[in-house]
Amino acid sequence: MLYSHTKFVSILIAFFVVILLQVIIILFWKQAKYWTIANLFLLLIVVFWYGAYSFMNMAREESAGIFHFEENQSTAIVTEERISQFPLIVQQWLRNSQVIGTSQTYAVRLQQKGEMRTKPDADFMPFEAAQYFNCVNASFVWTTKVRMFPKVYLFGRDKLVNAKGAMLIKLGALISVVDERESYEITSGAMLRYLAEICWFPSAALYDHIQWKSISDTSAEATLTINNISVSGVFNFSEKGEILSFTADRFYGDAKPPTLEKWCIEMLSYKEVNNIIIPDKAKVIWKLPEDDFHWLTLEIVEIEYNVPVLYE
């Protein structure tokens, strides 16, 4: 998904070919002027290639930046004693997930695929994404490529780093559609996203920056606090401890100014990955006053724990 050094060399070669062709067109104008339009089209392709390369490598550098750990990062073992202070249903979730007796997760990398849309009445668009988590500092970087039309893509990057959220979306990796950063609305939204997504790496629930409170026999409230900013959401479980959904009040950005709305993730299926049982498919819904807005469906294609290395 990310663009390699070989891709960059290819872009440079293509750029110089375009320049050479234009020089030939100028020197032989009478014979070659009709090639100018084709050459400009080729130049546009090269520009978009370079935009994609620059965007993906920016995201790659940001992703590498969150994987700064102590040498030989130690990982405590998840034990029954360590989870004994949690609400009973949270304990049951951790047991059912099969994390008891395993090393606590400090880093995660995963790949996703799915479909999303930007408006309730819009068509779904397929996407692929890579995401990296630092569980010690509660941070992540998520990078996606969304196919709007054949050969036309949106490039997106969502992140929570140093307790600051940011969202960047570009058309063709060149034209900024969304560029929001460090506001309370964006930061709290990114924090809620991190909190919801610990369903994919359950032992992160044991870190001190997450506090748990029982709501009922099958629900518990989780509160994430970073740098004196706190967000909360409610996990709903089945009786055997599978997460059914996560719900929180989150700022809905399409409203001007943003309004607090119910944001819900519903789990669609489970599977065992690396001996851990996690929800591998889910859908994300905004519970708006006028109607539910199902904006995203995703599937975890691959996930690895405590491998703080970027995908090639």
CATH number at residue 193: 2.50.20.10
Closest of 137, 126, 128, 127 to residue 159, by C-alpha: 137
Asked whether residue 179 is domain-assigned, the answer is: yes
Question: Do 46 and 96 fall into the same domain?
Answer: no
Q: Residue 112: which residues within 8 A CB-CB, separation 6 or more?
A: 127, 128, 129, 130, 131, 144, 298, 299, 300, 301
Which stretch of DSSP H or E encloses residue 8? helix 5-27
pLDDT value for 159? 98
d(CA 155, CA 246): 27
Phi (first) and psi of residue 212, to 5 degrees: -120, 145
Question: Do 91 and 48 fall into the same domain?
Answer: no
Residue whose entry in the numeric block shows the structure tokens 């709305």 = 261
pLDDT value for 68? 86
Closest of 273, 214, 272, 283 to residue 244, by C-alpha: 283
Asked whether residue 148 is domain-assigned, the answer is: yes
| Residue 106 CA from chain centroid, whole number | 17
Asked if residues 171 and 177 have their Cβ atoms less than 8 Å apart, the reply is yes
Q: How many C-beta neighbours within 10 Å does residue 155 have?
A: 23
Q: Which residue, 17, 36, 52, sits at the end of a domain? A: 52
Count of domains observed in the chain:
2
Asked whether residue 262 is domain-assigned, the answer is: yes
Asked whether residue 102 is domain-assigned, the answer is: yes
Closest of 195, 236, 232 to residue 217, by C-alpha: 236
DSSP string, 15-38: HHHHHHHHHHHHHTHHHHTTHHHH
pLDDT value for 7? 57
Structure-token pair, residue 266: 């519903």
Asked whether residue 89 is domain-assigned, the answer is: yes
Residues of the chain with pLDDT under 70: 1-44, 46, 71-72
pLDDT value for 4? 52
Question: Do 187 and 143 fall into the same domain?
Answer: yes
Count each helix (H run) and each strand (E run) in the chain, helices first: 6, 13
Question: Do 158 and 264 fall into the same domain?
Answer: yes
Asked whether residue 269 is domain-assigned, the answer is: yes
Q: Residue 28: which residues within 8 A CB-CB, separation 6 or more?
A: none
Question: Do 37 and 135 fall into the same domain?
Answer: no
Residue 59 DSSP SS3: helix
Q: Which domain holds residue 47?
A: 5-52
pLDDT value for 48? 74
Asked whether residue 60 is domain-assigned, the answer is: no
Pinpoint the alpha helices (H) of 66-205: 80-83, 88-96, 184-197
d(CA 56, CA 47): 14
